[in-house]
Chains A and B, each alone.
Chain A
Amino acid sequence: MANAAAPEPKENMGQPMPRIDGRLKVTGGARYPSDIRLKEPVYAALALSSIALGSISRFRLDAARAVAGVIDIFTHETLSDAIKEQVMMGQSEQAGYAASTIRPLQSASILHDGQIIAIVVADTFEAATEAARLVAPEYDARTPSATFGSDGVTIEEAAKISKKHEDPKIGDAEAALRTAEVKVDNRYSTPVQHHNPIELFTTSCIWDGPKLTIFEPSQTAHGLRFGVAQQLGMNPDDVHVVSSFIGGAFGSKGATTERTALIAAIAKKLDRPVKFVSSRADAFFVSTYRAETEQRVALAASRDGKLTALIHEGHEVTSRPDGYFVGGTDTTTRMYACPNISTKVSVVHADRKTPGFMRAPAEMPYMFVLESAMDELAETLGIDPVELRRINDTQIEPIKGLAFTSRSLMPCFDAAAAAFRWSERNRKPGAARDGDWLIGQGCATSCYPTMVAPATARVSLMPDGTAHVETAAQDVGTGTYTVVAQMAAERLGIDARHVKVTLGDSKLPPAPVSGGSNVTASVCSAVAKACDAINEKLRGSNSQNLAEQFRRLGVSELVEYAETVAPGASPEGIDQLYKGISALGGGPKLKDRIQYAFGAQFIEVAVHSRTREIRVRRMTGAFAAGRIMNTRTARSQLMGGMIGGIGSALLEATEIDRRYARYVNKNLADYEVPVNADIEALDVILVPETDDKVNAVGVKGVGELGIVGTAAAVANAVYNATGIRVRDLPIRLDALLT
């Protein structure tokens, strides 16, 4: 039987080796951090704020303390000395690791719904959970500002918040728009989303004298180590983070979040191992979220379809104290040739938790808007949407005039269009039917900036042809264990099944955060370099027999440690890596080149003519991302991204009660994510591409590429099915009841 999960490798693609951690994962043998058995642990449970703004005037804790088995209840009255320093990641000159500057339990102040107000510790999970519900705070509550349009929000320009952000601009876009032959100018919105990895947020802390061990699923074992050390005022050498398996992350386990240092501080006070496993409702607050956006895109073109102006303005919600934003205009301004471009990103401060990165943080919401607008322009011009992309395709980005290291956008469109049978599409909206169902088809561009970070790895080769690779990099489900083994095997000329890989432990050589789709490129570069150094030592021997070569060298193993930075990147990045900072660079931020992976997605929807139920019938995505290390794991990531994109398009939104700035659907029944029955035919095409400029191994990364553009392709298909243009995500049937 043909196995769609294991595509035949094409040029510049690695073998579809099954995951080397597969057996552990299908037998229950993989130990995720909350699976680690602790000696006589006590259990922690959180009490969260039920107001979004104000302060706690007093606690009534009698009922909670009366629960049999409760050991102690920690509040700002007893734990306010815990956090010494907390610097937010990427927001200042100082090394920062935290998701936010907000410090729960350090004062009576409440800055957002769901802020941690107490941590209950008990002998059993059951007692801690019961007592946490009985924690009774009394509040001095004030009226919070919830979101866009709420009284009391303040607006700040992104360029004024961060030196790293400059609003891309060339020519005079407003003038070009005024005089344009054809234009579209519309407003769009995207909702609050939560990552909801199926693994809950967990933390176990154990002290041994001054040494702290933390078992926590993390996208950055070293980052978490340094982050907690900073918060607790500890020597980072005394903090050890273990995160061997991570049950999904999608951005939610990247920055150091509030609970970890607090659990550690409590474990120290009690001198007992403390285990914390969040509830699903708590998971909507324990980590970060994708903030809602409001955007305007205006496109102008000549009658022949050439873009003459692009205006893209974005507003993003953030917390009161923190200026977090994603700023996707860096990407949207690089997609197509255009002589006049104007952009502006602003944040709107509300009484909300600080948002954070979620799969394709900038590209998912901003490309939804650009690619919806491109479809609207194609419709207005009467040009096929694929042809409109071809007319405006470019190998030189328009802002700085830099050349793409490689750009296979149109080969992706052509491959996907052929497989999808796009030429058979009925271009007239609302004209195709299948019984009671209206059928529509749409397409969109996918892209993701190619990011690379400094990395290190240690490779040991034995005389029997086995090898061991050690690096602190994480496998969040992406296949890091497997592709690292493949890279070492290829370079050392041994069987990949003979390579042992150890990951996810801060005692290992430091590696960057599993974020920005960088890990395969970054870590494989370091592994390849260490392997090359081993090969160098073996050179000069005539013998092909490895054991003989080791005898000649008089060693029992060959061990090499390698450090790498991206081509042209500052070697200082390595110093930062040793402090737990991932110096991601690339995409549109380079001086001499621009590097992106591209793709094209085609989607067919069926909309019921009476109920307006929306079903995705089939999806085809074609992607080119440089070297593909393993066609099996790459396809799975792209597929997962596309299905995540269906969630964004049709299902996912965290609803806010605007009166109280509080979330209302904090569970997996009301925050809907795609389930098996939502996905029918799905086809992933890997388009061959070779790029020797992005990094030493020519890898671009595919973790986030698949989710970008999906929502626009769905919206465009819904338009083709119904003639109704929906510019607000998610698209639900009420938007189609006209």
Chain B
Amino acid sequence: MTQFLKYVAGIQRRQMLYGTAATLAFLLVSRVVVARQKPVGKAAGGIAHEAGDKVDLVLDINGQERHLSLDGRTSLLDALRDHLDLTGSKKGCDHGQCGACTVHVDGRRVLSCLTLASMASGKKITTIEGLAGPDGGLHPMQAAFIEHDAFQCGYCTPGQIMSAVACVEEGHADDAAEIREYMSGNICRCAAYPNIVAAIEHAKVAMGRA
């Protein structure tokens, strides 16, 4: 239940605390509302934004540059879903407890609901839509999920697959017990868990990590 905090969200939280603008936005998002009536002072080296102010940014998503002008509080997940029509990443809790929104940022699995879109600027973002080959050929993990029936409703599936690919690439898929542990940040309420483990064990061979 707590794996995601240790292995995924922690990275983002540290980053948030280092970036001044991001820290301010984080405070606003977490509803510790900073005195709204008076202008927020400029922080050293950064541009302060009021909640609701637009932020211009460029995101590198699935190899494409996407230009956006967003409310500074917009999460990477909402940027993908509501502003770029990349709806494969799912919203299941919006606060880092379910894993349905998992994407890759610079090759690491990240919860896009706990990542401000502005923090992902300049990084390589891969979503479920970018996982298959340019010819539409499925990634081995996607094919294995179908073959092993590693989903039912399919809603958590994009997050499961993004997490599963990272799990293998991290070297955390040595055996079923390790896979179970490192996949426990992604909840599947239909409970396809044994099939998810089987799919990962299958796909890691095709991924050359067996």
Contact = CB atoms under 8 A, between A and B. Distances in A.
Contacts of A679: 180, 191, 193-194
A596 interface: no
Contact of B51 (A130, A635, A644): A130
B85 A37 contact: yes
Contacts of A19: 146, 149
Interface string A238-249: 000000011111
A67 interface: yes
Given A1-B202, A126-B71, A675-B187, A667 B93 contact: yes
Contacts of B1: 669, 672, 675
B95 A478 contact: no
Interface string B130-167: 01100000100011011111111111111001000000
Q: Mostly helix, strand, loop or mixed at chain A's interface?
A: loop
A34 B88 CA distance: 11
B124 interface: no
Interface stretch (B11-19, B40-48, B73-81, B104-112): B73-81
Given A127-B71, A633-B149, A675-B1, A668 B154 contact: no
B31 A640 contact: no
Nearest to A31: B87
A675 B52 CA distance: 37
A639 B197 CA distance: 14
A35 B87 contact: yes
B52 A668 contact: no
Nearest to A63: B36
Interface in B57-85: 71, 73-74, 78, 81-82, 85
Contacts of A248: 152-153, 155, 189-190
B120 to A, nearest CB: 16
Nearest to A675: B184
A616 to B, nearest CB: 12
A125 B29 CA distance: 12
Given A6-B149, A26-B146, A667 B95 contact: yes
**SS of B interface (majority):** loop
Nearest to B181: A677
Contacts of B185: 675
Contacts of B8: none
A680 B176 CA distance: 9
Given A19-B149, A27-B129, A127-B71, A674 B191 contact: yes
A478 B198 contact: no
A6 B202 CA distance: 14
A678 B71 CA distance: 39
Nearest to B194: A682
A640 B152 contact: yes
Contacts of B138: 23, 26-27
A23 B97 contact: no
Given A35-B81, A643-B193, A673-B189, A198 B156 contact: yes
A198 B187 contact: yes
Contacts of B150: 5
A28 B129 contact: yes
Interface residues of A, number: 74
B204 interface: no
A200 interface: yes
A199 B94 CA distance: 11
B207 to A, nearest CB: 15
Given A126-B52, A200-B91, A667 B97 contact: yes
B132 to A, nearest CB: 6
B64 to A, nearest CB: 15
Nearest to A198: B92
A5 B195 contact: yes
B184 A677 contact: yes
B86 to A, nearest CB: 7
B174 to A, nearest CB: 15
B180 to A, nearest CB: 5
A36 B63 CA distance: 24
Q: Name, among A24, A26, A672, the residue most crowded by chain B CB atoms within 10 Å (CB to CB).
A: A26
B24 interface: no
A32 interface: yes
**A-B interface, 4 closest residue pairs, ranked by CB to CB distance from nearest:** A28-B88, A247-B155, A477-B153, A25-B154
Interface of A: 1, 3-6, 18-19, 21-32, 34-35, 37, 66-69, 124-127, 130, 133, 195-200, 245-250, 277, 279-280, 476-479, 632-633, 635-637, 639-640, 642-644, 667-669, 672-680, 682
15 contacts: A3-B198, A4-B194, A6-B147, A18-B146, A25-B151, A26-B128, A26-B143, A26-B157, A28-B89, A31-B87, A198-B100, A199-B92, A477-B151, A676-B188, A679-B193
